[in-house]
A and B are shown apart, each in its own frame.
Chain A
Amino acid sequence: MSLSYILRRLLGAVPLLLGISLILFTIIHLAPGGPLDMYLDNPAVSREALDQIAARYGLDQPLPIQYLLWLKSMLVGDWGYSIRTSRPVIVEILGRVGPTLQLGGAALLLSLLIAIPLGTLSAARRGTALDSTVTLASFVGISTPVFWMALLLQLFFSVYLGWLPSAGYQTIGDGSLMDRLLHMIMPVVILSLATIASWSRFIRSGMVDVLNQDYIRTAYAKGRGEKGVMVFHALRNALIPAVTVIAVDFGTVISGAVITETVFAWPGMGRLFMESMDGRDYPMLMGLMMLGSVGIILANIFADLTYAALDPRIRYG
């Protein structure tokens, strides 16, 4: 693994991003509606006024021109202005990155801490009641709709018990660490459920494959105890396929969790995306999705580097 390899990968990402931006731009314009739709019910907003607003944001230009204009300003670091708020896209995004990273980071950490032991244990005790329980729980976790689970938690912990705030980022006028942690509990748990479920499945199946290998038998034959075999011989090898999935999930954190953030009124990127989508705020959407794409590309590069770290046979030159 060399610096030049990383550099080459980063350079390769440039044409990739260009392609992505073109596809994204096409897709968001294929979606029905437009940013001026919100004025449709108001007869006092005249056709002229609408035309003026359209001209101001370049919406009157043909789509290819609109794309080129967007690309041109993006290349010099100008992300454009939000149609909904008239504020610079970059300013809007920067205001949302913190809460999103906080929520996503905490959820990923929690997921790692639970999914790895759970998957390992499940594989080691394959076929037992414990394995079946974990498997069943994973499938329930993967299949449960996030908004429904969130609603159940809100009803139980906020309405019935009254222990946790049902939504929001902080209490007005409080904002202490404790207050923020209390607000984080439910969204983090909800966001983690699906990742814990899917990651533990990947780790379990990776482990099951590895446990049948000769070198595991050899390790046992050498007299190594079960814990040692599991952690140092099996898990390290089993992680390689799981790393791809985990890394991509890390990458998506930057785009925010649309449903969780909406349900819990969390002021992050996912919710900004939702609001921008509703208002067909094209510059905002492009900015958010490009940032998300960068996140995923970086996560993929990171995954490849992690393979090399985990498996000495993999070398990049």
Chain B
Amino acid sequence: MTFKLTRRAALQGMLAGGSLLATMRAFPAMAQAVGGTLRIGLTYEIDTMNPYSTGFLGDAQAAVLEGLLAPNSEAVYVPVLATEVPTIENGGIMLSADGTKMDITYKLREGVTWSDGTPFTSADVAYTWEAVKNPTFVAESKDGSQDIDSIETPDPLTVICHYNTVKPNFASTLFTFGIMPKHIIENTDLNTSAFNETPIGTGPYVVKEFVRGQYVVMDRNPTYWAKAENGDALPYIERLVFHMLPDTNTLITQLQSGELDMVVQVPYSRASQVEGIDRVEIVRGPLLSWQHLDFNFRVPSLADINVRKAIAHGINREVMIRAQGGYPQAIKSLVVPVFDLYNPDTPEYPYDPALANKLLDDAGYVRGGDGIREKDGVRMSYQFMVQAGRADDENAQQVIIALLKQIGIEATANNQTGVAYREARYKGGYDLIYGRWITSADPVYSTFYGTGGENNGQGYSNPTLDAAFTKMENSLDPAVRKDAAFEMQRIIAEDIPAIALISNVAVIAKVKTLKNFVPNPTNMTNFVDTKAWYIES
């Protein structure tokens, strides 16, 4: 019993962000044996098993197809089908003489086979690139395929990618989503191929049955390459079943009746219900997403740093969090704390309405008869946009509107969806905008706040910040990148093009008998590393 407690404490400690992985390894769990079924409830209908074209995060896909690299529970890339993460130091990354291009060499793991028995080779890697790049293949996850000019495969276990640019975040694109088997998909149309329903992968699980609108059954891959430290064949769990259950009530009923063992995204509003179920426990996992309030710099008063500072002091994150059931976490930087690039010394603006009011008074914004401030005859009244129909965001918007009113600023909801929202976001068709970004484990931040950045609809431009972005996004040296990232966070906090407000968490419900489960915060989902999970009998 004591032992059990220790391990649980270790797990919780790790979830809290501490890195006690080493401790856990020192106490290998008992009674790990092959067997059992894990039944997982998904609220969406799986559209395709192809990780490149699915419109959702690839929960089920991640257990079948493996990438060369994968992000671990701390959002750090680790090797999977490659033997190491290429870096300058280990010779995996070679910069061209003029420093504008790079070659990345992957050494592939030996003895890996596809689940149909065919050996996995460098030809599969090269073909995956060609297939994804192919313009007739409709997929949204093509990021990175255009950055490679050619791929060389000198031997079955070596892949050399010739990049036409320097891309420090190469790991978050292309080969991480999964390598596809050349011998299966060659000469097929990947838009309609049977591969999209019953893919062949190298991963720990093999799809046995995909019934649309109902479930995906996958069984343990008996020839999976990875072994546990004690020599056990992996994975432990015999069968994973992904049930597609669109109704949240039904999901929770099934957790209660014992028909489901795990739900990876319990809505905040339902979490307390799940807490009451005996056989189930809740694990909170961090997510690489952040909610932000952006300013449109074309509005003169918002281009005034005093106003942005006052707004930053005027927002109470605690109220926003309470309005969402207490689950999100307050943040101060757009780099969420899971990342090692997170700068803990980022300046923050504590909630202080008195100070906010003083800042605005001092800057010459005086309250009119209706309590709303104005300067030079212009009222502080703003059009405030969120994506219409998104309950959590609309909720947060109402909180922000009420808080702004306290400091004499009027914000009026002007919510849009679809093309209208997207275009407004790209072109700055708003004064204030509140929304979220969900990123990979290695995001490019210049797209949001860099001059001319694709997602910078605010018209914001700051040469010092641009310099930090350039340094960060073009360097392959981890120390330089970290310095630049720290500087970027400091500049953003000081100049406030946007306020990072809260970060979401994944509320995961799982049976208590599922052990060794560690949540993964990245877009590769919790199922990117299932091999060590086991069910205690």
Contact = CB atoms under 8 A, between A and B. Distances in A.
Contact of A172 (B192, B215, B438, B448): B215
A229 to B, nearest CB: 47
A179 interface: no
B422 A265 contact: no
Contacts of A159: 253, 256-257
Given A32-B388, A158-B259, A274 B246 contact: yes
Contacts of A53: 138, 140
Contacts of A38: 55-56
Contact of A95 (B56, B212, B422, B455): B212
A86 interface: yes
A279 B253 contact: no
B250 A33 contact: no
A130 to B, nearest CB: 35
A262 B246 contact: yes
B143 A84 contact: no
A43 B55 contact: no
Interface in A26-56: 32-34, 36-47, 49-50, 52-53, 56
Contacts of B172: 44
Interface in A128-171: 147, 151, 154-155, 158-159, 162, 165-170
Nearest to A266: B213
A41 B254 contact: no
B55 A39 contact: yes
A43 B334 CA distance: 13
Contact of A33 (B254, B256, B418, B523): B418
Contacts of B55: 38-39, 84, 279
Contact of A86 (B192, B243, B420, B435): B192
B256 to A, nearest CB: 5
Contacts of B196: 86
A271 B213 contact: yes
Interface string A10-40: 0000000000000000000000111011111
A87 B47 CA distance: 9
Interface in B291-320: none
Indicate the member of B247, B256, B417, B421 with the most A CB atoms within 10 Å: B247
A166 B55 CA distance: 28
Indicate the member of B211, B213, B243, B389 with the most A CB atoms within 10 Å: B213
B249 A46 contact: no
A264 interface: yes
Interface in A70-105: 84-87, 92, 95-96
Given A32-B417, A46-B143, A267-B211, A86 B257 contact: no
A304 interface: no
B426 interface: yes
B447 to A, nearest CB: 5
Interface of B: 44-45, 47-48, 53, 55-56, 135, 138, 140-143, 172-173, 191-192, 196, 209, 211-215, 217, 241, 243-247, 249-250, 253-254, 256-257, 259, 289, 387-389, 416-422, 426, 435-440, 443-444, 447-448, 454-455, 523
3 nearest CB pairs, A to B: A267-B213, A32-B417, A34-B418
